[in-house]
Structure 1
């Protein structure tokens, strides 16, 4: 059935039953429309009653009331429309299910049959039953959307109070003009709340002297006025009115002036707000990338923000233009998105100036060993971003030393580069296994490679996808690791994992019981790793640099873990984490020492020689600055008698005859440009002292008399360096030169003692092999100053050393005479002559 637009009358009996519901519904609609049209008029009336009862009206008040009444009346009349009968019926019908009244007025739209007539009458009967249950709806008098400030409620409340609690026709009976002493006291309060992310405290405006006041942009100003109705508050030219006790609020987003006018005040306080904007964060790399054999790399960074850096990220992208496109890399690479990694935040560091170290292990990444571009990003609390200059580098990869493992890793790289290179990878892997008897493969590696080849060829036959590519790459990585290390890696992984869990627990503030449990786990994992190393047959390892090195390392590790446990019990977590890092470095050094043999001794000696060379350069620079302080007419680092080995004036030259970088740089700058150097002499001296301390702690040969003597000499050199740095900070270059001379002498003694310790160790090892008496060190070795080392003292003329004690005494006399001559030259600056006098006093 469909409606045809004609209205069919309701049944007479039903119409009589719905007479009152329809009338009430029509009245409800009228009440709704009347309230919505005349609520302003009602508000004006109630406000007039309130005002009349409390204060009273004057002529002006009556005129204003009359105008307001007329406006509200006209406004209501224009908006009021009486409801009609159809509207009332439609409202009542909306309360019934299935629109029963509208259905009863419908007629069939098409020609009906007897069957359809029966159905239609049945349907009409059900609608009549529903219509008899109709009840008039309540009127909807909610007008909050028309009166958002609830003025009607305020007027109604005032009217109730006026009618219920005021008896006098004029309310209080007298105005404040008749009782000046009854006038309420006017006061105000104000606060400035900076954004929470700035970490700055709120300012109580009453305590701030009027005038300029810098505040962070986005700060919220809150003002409260008490006991006044005519206060004036202006902020940036805008007038804020009212005396609301809940406070007037405004946001300071730009430079503006706040003035507060209060009744009875002798002055009008005013503040000139300077909105300090939030500067985007900055970030840059700090130093070069360092890496270890396992593929882990470290990159320092410095980030800063005026209110603190909240997060940092590193973005790695493949530098395709820098890739050497040959062999397996000649194909177009599979598309890969840039790698986004989170930067670690330093433990308990100032977020406004962060100096962190990003450590990451991406040895298994598809781009490992390939050129990449690294961009660091820093973020602040409001989402601003700062980015560093792109850093172009080769993504560190793990070093594999066995040819078979290197070949497998290269094929893994080619497979991850492009799935299209899969056939070539399979062919090359088969070529590697062509003659397995010529390969030195661990047990199971040959079969694992054969299975990987079959898996790869099967994937190529069915169309290799990204998931199969990653799975095969993981398999090849595991095979290469097994070939390279043959099973010792699992214990080391457990040890490293135990260290990481302990560090994370300290960062998360774990309980002492949890820390003790994790510390026991670290002890067990470390002992297990050392036991695995000790179980490797000695003939399968390169010769150890010192027979007692492994046993000494056990004692050192146990002492370090005891110290870490003690620091954690005392709550000194930052120092405990530093000790854990030192423990990790010791384990890495132990692994390197077992793999590199006696070359560790030569590296240690080369490091000490380089330290001595750097100390000599610092001493030369301090001496040149001393000449500048007292020199008249002498150029920077240039004076009479200060000659180098080539006979030229010694500008910027070290005593070894090589031009130092600092001296070479000074030649190209005007006098006085030293102040633009990034680090002062004292800072460089401190850095060199720290480097020497690290070398002393890692020095091989501990336990022997000569080895201990070498450490004592280096310790003395470190103390002299510390005193020299103190003197440089105080500007006493003369005293600094004396301490630097002591440091160089102690370094030379340490080198000599170290050579003796290494000679003793080598002699003992050669004696066990029946080769006692053979020399293991270079007979032509010289220190950084070009002089013979401790191994050459007492050698014959053919070795380039001194032939006798008489020659050494003669050389000392020549040096003393040269010092006396220079000290007696009156045209030299007095500080320089004083320095020569102090050298003579030492002889």
Structure 2
């Protein structure tokens, strides 16, 4: 038998024949599947499925997939793979010799003559096999595919794909990935997502827009996703680590909600039968806070520890503390924490000077190492470098006070525990037996507590000889009883407040108690102003501070009387030094100004003025009078000058200044009414002022010179704006006639005896006349401009007169008392009614009244009906106040 593979060119012919049979068999079996797939692809490529709704596109895909499977199964059943022998048979039947079949035969008689004959026959057959060609299957194709679908279907797909080449990929992707969830109600799903930054950052919540730009939020923010869906969706968070799946929980409202914490850059996806929403979130890291010393701690003359610090943080510092350790006990010794006050709520960057009283600390007088520690809202801490200094110790001059202080620190510096008590055995609990170990607790106390108890016994020996203040003796006796009854160091430490107050009483007497109350009231008011407390709470603490200040003044005066009007003791709680320049009524004015600042919301100015008032009270000193026997010259609330003793020149200048002040107030009221009329608002009744302004200004000045008054104290002029403006012009003309022509004028517009420059008054009168003419013509805009011009000129003129009056008083006081002499107020300053504002900046009455008027106007407009946007704006303004 000859090998067919040895015949050159025969095997490729067999393979091509077999391939033709395979194609023919595949078309016969899978032509329905090809038609079905072609129809779907044509629909997808032509965009027919894009125009349909998501629901129809999903149905079309399901129909395609549902029809695809049975057609594939049907085609597979019908398909029959061709075999090699079939291809050989089709090739062999082309020749009558049947060379391929004959070559597979063997000779019947393999003798020598037969073999030679067979070889010659095999050669003929081989030649015949080489002449064979691949058969033509045209007839079979016409029978199997009479419509030439094998050419038409690929051509249609190719043409459609070419025509939609730029969008073919997107259309096929949408065709094979429609929104399957639309079949189950996905179009009714509503998804809301927002991120809430940590509270300490002070940032508002961020609402996420679907498929929007990346959103940057602080690390540690809380993500909240809420979905209205038929069933719970899935929340997938993809970050630097493996994806995290967060389960939705059902809310009482019937929605689904999921929460997660964003700590790193993440991609968020919500899926429900496909992706429903996605967001990209970038997390900003929260760096630890930083703090440093600007100046190292040092002791001030008032025994306070003063230093300057600086801190920074991304979102604000929550706490600032001073960490103290004793240098003689090593770095592992227990630390003491002292809280420091910050200038505001969670400052991001601040640099302040801290002045704290550490004289009451148990380590006072010892060397300590200190580090500043800051803590932000996330709980992260930062430390400064180490600073070594000696804690200031309270300067006590009285021997009894020093002894009490030694007892106190001996107790506080004892850190050892009490010795344990062995339980009594049953045999010892018999009748008439006493278990003394359970009652004699002082014997189990550590050495420091026992030594303090012995010190109290030594100090209280012979009280009738050494104690003038019975309260101090009884207080020490009570402290000794507490030590005897204490069973732990914590109970023994409870004597600290008692011993501290006894030491101060032994040193200073009752004034120290009043000073502590004053400092506590100041701290409470400062905290209320700093933390933005309610108006009622601030007013309550303001009244407490006023009462504490008055009590402190009374205690210091009583102390001065007891000492024969000599200066009070030089102690750190009430140091001498005297204030700088405060007249007799300045103390009441400062308290009134502080009340006005707290009411109008000027927190920073109020805190500064509060500190100035407290410092002046702490520096209060009393001195003897000038020998007139009239008590305390210059006491707070006492007038420094009398109108009868005032020189004629000063009195006339004061009267002129008062008239200008009244005129300025009337002109400002008229300006406000004109502006209100121009805006179409309801203007106030002519001649009436706001209640606050009447009480504030008329309460000071009493009757208004040059103006008619009604029974209620208000100006009785009534009429239109034009008439009122004309009346003001008449007042200026009358003032010029009564004052301006009484003498020559000086360069600054004033003359001797309180005269006023005639040209200045004429300029004011012209501006007012022009304003009246504009009002009569109905030109409010021009009237307002002239009114403002007149107001500015009146104010400038009044300021010039006020400066001249101050100069006259200062000159007179210098001549009368020299450098101050002995006539000083309780703060150690020269009397005379003038005030030096270099140290204390008190807003004048006009500024405070104007701030009150603005606040009242904001409240009135907030209560009037207005659109929501304006109401929100006014609410934000009121919150700032």
Query: What TM-score does the superposition give when structure 2 sets the normalisation length?
Result: 0.37
Q: Which has the higher contact order (CA 8 A, sep 6+)?
A: 2
- Which of structures 1 and 2 has the bigger CA Rg? 2
Query: What TM-score does the superposition give when structure 1 sets the normalisation length?
Result: 0.39
